[in-house]
Amino acid sequence: MTDGIKDKVVVVTGASSGLGAEAARHLAKAGAKLALGARRTDRLQALAEELGLGRNAVVRTDVTDRAQVKALVDHAVKTHGRIDAIINDAGLMPLAPLELLQVDEWDRMIDVNIKGVLYGIAAALPHMKAQKSGHVIRPRRRDRSCVRRRKRR
């Protein structure tokens, strides 16, 4: 499963924890060149140190800010000369039951889970088109904890 990953340049959003951090660990072990993005730079720095990547692999990135996502991708291209893949793993799921109508949480979820992915595509696609290659990856989430069915009486 790691054939052909050595020396590939991969950008990972949401790399400070969870699946993003695990993907970074797996890719680093396979020899990929990484650019790690997330809001929690302390965790990113710790991960980069764990993986022996150095501070240059870390870029503070809030995926709800298109300019920050572009800066992350551009940093990877400037540092490594190209981008072979972007893993758009930044994501969140509101935990409150829908009946509480926490619409602000829904807006934040849309900003991160949808706009953040689109901003990643917008940042990476021009480079990938110019290279005539590249992959955009969005891991699927299966957390339905915010949706609770009520028994009908």
Provide the pLDDT for residue 147: 42
pLDDT digit string, tens, across residues 120-144: 999 999 999 999 999 999 987 654 4
Q: What is this structure's pTM?
A: 0.88
Q: With contact defined as beta carbons under 8 Å apart, do 9 and 32 qualify?
A: yes
Provide the pLDDT for residue 144: 43
Q: Which of 18, 16, 20 shows the shortest CA–CA distance to 39? A: 16
Domain boundaries of the chain, sorted by first residue: 9-137
**Residues 20, 145: Cα–Cα separation, whole Å:** 20
Provide the pLDDT for residue 142: 53
Residue 33 pairs in a beta bridge with 9
Provide the pLDDT for residue 35: 98
Task: Give every residue of the chain whose pLDDT is below 70, as ranges.
Answer: 1-2, 141-153
Provide the pLDDT for residue 1: 53
Long-range contact set of residues 56-62: C-beta below 8 Å, sequence gap at least 24: 59/35, 61/13, 61/37, 61/90
Residue 37 pairs in a beta bridge with 13, 59
Quickly list H helices, 16-132: 18-29, 41-51, 66-80, 103-110, 116-131
Q: Which of 86, 75, 77, 80 shows the shortest CA–CA distance to 20? A: 86
Q: Which CATH superfamily is domain 9-137 in?
A: NAD(P)-binding Rossmann-like Domain (3.40.50.720)
